[in-house]
Chains A and B, each alone.
Chain A
Amino acid sequence: MTGTNRREFLKNGLLVGSALLAPVSLMNVLATDNKSFKNNTVRLGVVGTGSRGTYLMELINSVSEQEGIEIVAVCDIYEPNLNLGKGLAPKAKAFTDYRKMLEMKDLDAILVATSLHQHAHITIDALDGGLHVFCEKAMARTLEDTHAMALAHLRTGKILHIGHQRLFDPKYLEGMKRIHDGVLGQVTQIRAYWHRNNDWRRPVPEDKPELERHINWRLYKEYSCGLVTELASHQIQVANWAKKALPVDVRGTGSISFWKEGREVHDNIALIYTYADGTQFIYDSMVQNKKYGFEEQIMGHLGTIEFETNRFFLEDPVLPKPAGIAQLIGNLESNIFGKVPIGSSSWAPEVASQYKGEPLVPVDKTDGTLEQMIGFARSVREGKAIDGLFEQCYYGSVWTMLSQEAIETGKVISMPENIII
C-alpha cells in the first residue's frame, strides 16, 4: 500500500496494521521453536526499575535461560528502586543516567518502564542509538511525543514494542479471532470500564516529602493523564483491535469528584467513541467504587465477549432443555397449557438452567505480559518487528491522547491527519 493510499485508508477509520496483525500471526510468534537461537543471547537494559520494571525483570528472569535473554544493565534515578533492580540482576551494570547506559557496548535493546512523561525522550534516544526498545504503555504524555516516537521508530527501522500485553494474551487472541471471523455477528457496541476503590497513592517516605511528585507521578498532569493513560489506554487498544478500525471521534468528561486531596488528574471519567460504521464504544473509569472491577464487553448481534473474565456468550445458545418443572412454571406464568416434559434432558443431575456462557480459553493463567516479553526478545534476535503490532499500539496511544483532549476541552475530537504514519 502506498503512502497516500494508506492515509486515505486511515482517514476512513480502518486500521491498516491490524489487517496484518491477525491473531494467528501472534500465536505463531509464540509457537515457534526457539532452540536454534540458544547461542545468541539477547542483552537487555532496563530503564525504570520501579513497580512495573521489576515485575518485567522477574518475568524475564523466569525464562532467561530457555529464551536466551539476559539483563545486563539497570537504570533508575531513585536509589531505593535502583537497588530493587540490582537485586533482581546482580550481574548487571547499574546506572542513574540512562544516557550512560545507552553508550554500553553489546546492548541489544532496552525496556522503558519509567513514569509516563519520561518515555519519549528515553525511547527516542535509544532508537537513535541503534537499540531496539520495549516501552511501557501509554507511549507518551503528549500527542507530539507519541508521534515523535513513531517517527524515530520509522526513521531508524529499530523495533519499538509498546506494553499492551493483551495483544499476547491467549484469551484475547482467541476472542479476537472469533470477532473477526464473524462469530459475534455485527459488533455495534463496546462497553469497557475500570473501577477501583483506593486513593491510587504510593507511600512517600516521611522524611522526604519532596518525593511526592516523583513517586505519585500518576496524580499530576505534568507526568500523566491519570486514568486515561494508566488504565483506559489498554481498553482503547482492545476496542480498536476488536473493530479493526479507529474511531471517527471521541467526546468525554472527567472530574475530581471524590479524592480532593490535591491531585490534579481526574478520579472519575466517561468517554464515548464513535466508529465509522456507527459502532459506539462507551467507556468509564473511577477510583471510588470497585464493585464492577474491569471489563471489555464486545457486543455483536449474535454474541458477546467479556475479555477480562474469559467469557463468551451466544445470544441464542443451544441449551440443554430446562428441567420439565422449569418449563411448566414458565408456561403457567404465561398462561399456557403446555406439556410437562419429563426425562428428556437429563435425569441424573439436572443442569443449571441459567446460561452462564463459556470460557474463551479453557485455562486462563496469563495476562500476556510474559508472552509479550518473549515475543519482544525473539523479534530483537531476528531484527524483525511483528507486522502491524506497532501500528496497533501507536494508534491506541494516539486515541488515548485524543481522549484526554476531549475531556479537557469538552469538544468532539477527531484524529488530526498530520499524525498518521
Chain B
Amino acid sequence: MGTRFNMVIPGIESFIGEKLVMQINLILEREEQLLSCYKPHSEISKINRLAAIEPVVVSDQMAEIISLLDDYWKRTNGAFDAGLLNYNLLLKKNTFTGNKITDEIFGWKSVVWNPRENTISFQNGATGIDTGGFGKGWVLEKIIKLLKDNNIKSAFISFGESSITAIGTHPLGDFWPVTIAHPVSEKEMEIELVDASVSISGLMVKTTDGKADYVPHIISAKNGVVVKQNNLAIVKCNSPFEAEILSTAAFSLGETGIDELKQQFSNAAFYFLK
C-alpha cells in the first residue's frame, strides 16, 4: 500500500507475536495483489486498464469490494467517489491545468457494475478505481479478524498514521488515548478508542523539510473542484473501512456540508481540525 504498518500488542508471547507478524505480512501481500494501484499486475490495475474496453470479470473478493464502493457512493450521495483515479493522477502530475472537472466523464457515475455477473466496465477511459480512499481500511478489517481469531484482546494499529484501529483497551486504562494533531497548525484533539477505528483525511502534509504542502487527492462531489482546505476530517466508528470512506466523504463535503452524512451514518462520530 506504499505506506507503513505499525502494530502494538501489549504483553504478547514473542512466538505468538512472530507468528502473527508472518500472517499479517501474508495478508498485506495478498491484499496488495488485489488492491495496489502501484502494482501493475494487481487485480485493480488490470481492471483499470481493461474495463473501459470490455467488461471485466472480477474475483469474489473484488466483487465484494466493488459492491461496497457502489453502496457507499449511493449512501453518501456521491460524496465518496472511488472512481477518480485518473483525475487524481492528472492532478498529481500537474498536467491538468484547471481545478474543475469540466468534462463530466470522471467518477463512479461512469462505472457499470453488474453484481450478478461479477463484471465491471467503465463508460470511458477517464474512469479508474482509486483504492487510496478505502484500501487501508479494507486491509485493517482483515487484520482485526485475524487478531480476534487468535484471541487478541488488546492491540493498537496505525496504518500510515491515517488509519488507526484499537482492539480492546490500553492495558493500563479503560480505553486507548489518542491525540491527533494538525500537521501545520499543530492544534490537537483527543479521542478515546475502545474496539474502534479512526480515519483522518486531509490535504496538508508536513514534508520532511518541515514545510507544509498540499496533496490534492480529494475532489468535491458537489462541484468537482479540488478540495483545498486546511481542515482535517476525522471520523471514528467501529469499522476501519467505513471510517476511511466517511472521512474521505466528510472531507470532500467540508465542515458545513456534512449534516446529511451525519444523519445517514449516526453510528459514526465526525470531527474537523483546523
Contacts and interface: CB of A to CB of B under 8 A. Distances in A.
A286 to B, nearest CB: 40
Interface stretch (A74-82, A146-154, A263-271, A333-341): A333-341
A335 B156 CA distance: 16
Contacts of B156: 325, 328, 340
Contacts of A351: 208
Interface string B105-132: 0000000000000000000000000000
Nearest to B188: A344
Given A328-B156, A337-B170, A343 B8 contact: no
B237 interface: no
B162 interface: yes
A342 interface: yes
Main secondary structure of the interface of A (DSSP, over half): loop
Contacts of A345: 206
A342 B177 contact: no
Contact of B190 (A332, A339, A348, A350): A339
A358 to B, nearest CB: 14
A328 B160 contact: no
B10 to A, nearest CB: 6
B241 interface: no
B177 A346 contact: no
Contacts of A323: 6, 158, 161
Interface string B140-161: 0000000000000000101011
A388 interface: no
B10 A343 contact: no
A329 to B, nearest CB: 6
B181 A344 contact: yes
B181 A341 contact: yes
B178 A339 contact: yes
A214 B273 CA distance: 78
Given A325-B8, A342-B179, A343-B161, A335 B205 contact: no
Given A324-B161, A347-B160, A340 B179 contact: yes
Interface in B157-210: 158, 160-162, 164, 170-173, 176-183, 186, 188, 190, 198, 200, 205-208
B12 to A, nearest CB: 11
B177 A340 contact: yes
B8 A346 contact: no
Given A339-B177, A343-B161, A348 B8 contact: no
B93 interface: no
B161 A347 contact: yes
Contact of A344 (B186, B190, B207, B208): B186
A49 B243 CA distance: 76
A349 interface: yes
Contacts of B182: 343
Nearest to B206: A346
Interface in B9-52: 10
Given A337-B173, A342-B158, A350-B161, A332 B183 contact: no
Given A332-B8, A332-B10, A343 B180 contact: yes
Q: Looking at chain A, what size class is its interface with the partner chain?
A: 20 to 34
Contacts of B181: 341-344
Contacts of A338: 177
Given A323-B161, A324-B158, A348 B180 contact: no
A350 B162 CA distance: 12
A348 B173 contact: no
A323 to B, nearest CB: 7
A329 B173 contact: no
A261 B158 CA distance: 62
A343 B232 CA distance: 10
Given A329-B8, A351-B208, A342 B164 contact: yes
A349 B179 contact: no
A348 B205 contact: yes
A346 B173 contact: no
A351 B198 CA distance: 23
Name the residue among B10, B205, B206, B207 with the largest chain A CB count within 10 angstroms.
B206
A347 B206 contact: yes
Contacts of A336: 172
A343 B183 contact: yes
A346 B160 CA distance: 10
Name the residue among B173, B182, B188, B190 with the largest chain A CB count within 10 angstroms.
B188
A344 B178 contact: no
A348 B208 contact: yes
Nearest to B6: A325
Contacts of A346: 183, 205-208
A351 B181 CA distance: 17
Nearest to B187: A344
Nearest to B193: A340
Interface in A337-376: 337-351
Contacts of A344: 179, 181, 183, 186, 188
Contact of B208 (A337, A340, A349): A349
B179 A341 contact: yes
Interface string A9-45: 0000000000000000000000000000000000000
A344 B212 CA distance: 12
Interface string B191-235: 000000010100001111000000000000000000000001000
B179 A339 contact: yes
B171 A332 contact: yes
A347 B4 CA distance: 10
27 contacts: A324-B158, A325-B6, A325-B8, A335-B172, A336-B172, A337-B170, A339-B178, A340-B158, A340-B177, A342-B161, A342-B164, A342-B178, A342-B179, A342-B180, A342-B198, A342-B200, A343-B182, A343-B200, A344-B179, A344-B186, A346-B183, A346-B207, A346-B208, A347-B183, A347-B206, A348-B206, A351-B208
Interface of B: 4, 6, 8, 10, 156, 158, 160-162, 164, 170-173, 176-183, 186, 188, 190, 198, 200, 205-208, 232
A-B pairs with lowest CB-CB distance, top 5: A344-B181, A325-B6, A337-B172, A339-B177, A339-B179
Interface of A: 323-325, 328-329, 332, 335-351
Given A335-B172, A342-B181, A343-B180, 6 more contacts: A328-B156, A338-B177, A343-B162, A344-B186, A344-B188, A346-B207
